[in-house]
Amino acid sequence: MAPSNYHGQPGGYLPRPISLQAILDESSSNNTSPSIDLQWEPFQRHVEAFLTAIDDYTIAAKTEIAARASDHVNQMRDLKAEREEVERRIKLEREREGEMLATLESERHTLTDLTSSLNHLESSLQKVKDQSSSLESELNVIRKEVTTERTEKDRQKSRLNEMRKRDERELIELEENVGFTVNGIRPDLLMMRFTLLDHRDPTREFSFLIDISKQDYTVPNCDPPIPNLSELVRQLNHDRDIYTFIKRVRRAFRALIPNPTPSTKFDELSGPGLGLRTPAMPGYHRVLSHSTKDNVIVDGTAMDSLSLTNRLK
């Protein structure tokens, strides 16, 4: 291929055909030696132009090759940088993928644990609901029973209030008729009063205090004094019979009156017998009950059976 800047024969140089016969004939007619005009100078100029074009083409080709080589180097450098960047991104993405897989596996285990916990909680919730339903049923039954019991208690309370009012009236009337009252001075200390003993003054009071706070009974005060009081207290602590003790003290008070009446309504009352006796046992504690009238306090194990105070609370 000719160089791109070579455009044929300069100055219109074209090789012309040579006929040897014509040359020989011309030399014979002129009696001269045959000669051929080779036109060397145009040919030389043509060759030099061609060589110059070759040199220019070579320089241009080398320049283009160098430029292309430089471009190729730059492209390879850019491609290498891009490849390194892509590899770095691939490595980073692989690391992220590993982290995501690890996170996904952890979340999968967590989801499994949460699912198991949720199933357990749902099972527990169902059990609690069943228990709640059962307890609610039992509660409804208990509520009905409580309502029934409350109704019955209210009925009994109303009945007891009616009986208490009636018994209070009867007690007042009985106390007035037999002349005997029991009042609480303080816990475990009772004041027992007698009237209707002195026919000359039926309202005259005969009283004594009895202390029931300890195992043995004591009488810290007696008005008027009874000569044989200590013997009566000793008998009380021996036989534990409070009712008989009260009757003995009353008889002792009557003995202090000149010409006492031979018999009273109190003497006609029958005692409760052995049911009123309090056993002398170690660690024995008396239970006191309180009356709604005059703050009367009686011994719960002994005085409840007295005919005069069996309705006291």
Output phi, psi for 110, to 5 deg: -60, -40
Rounded Cα gap, residues 193 and 132, in angstroms: 62
- In a 10 Å sphere around its CB, with 0-12 CB exposed, 13-18 middle and 19+ buried, how is residue 285 labelled? exposed
Residue 233 CB-half CA count within 13 A: 18
pLDDT at residue 4, rounded to an integer: 54
Rounded Cα gap, residues 69 and 178, in angstroms: 147
pLDDT at residue 232, rounded to an integer: 95
pLDDT at residue 260, rounded to an integer: 73
pLDDT at residue 302, rounded to an integer: 40
Closest to 297 in 3D by CA, of 312, 284, 282, 276: 312
∠ at Cα 223 (220, 225), nearest 5°? 80
pLDDT at residue 264, rounded to an integer: 61
Closest to 257 in 3D by CA, of 219, 226, 231: 226
Rounded Cα gap, residues 171 and 140, in angstroms: 44
> 221-228 long-range contacts, Cβ below 8 Å, gap at least 24?
222/249, 224/253, 224/256, 226/252, 226/253, 226/256, 227/252, 228/252
pLDDT at residue 191, rounded to an integer: 93
- Write down all domains in the chain, each with its CATH number in brackets: 179-305 (3.30.457.50)
Q: Write the DSSP symbol of residue 94.
A: H
Closest to 306 in 3D by CA, of 252, 241, 254: 241
Report the C-alpha dihedral over residues 27, 33, 38, 39, rounded to 10 degrees.
Answer: -80
Chain mean position to CA 174: 64
Q: Which residues of the chain have pLDDT under 70?
A: 1-16, 36-39, 262-313
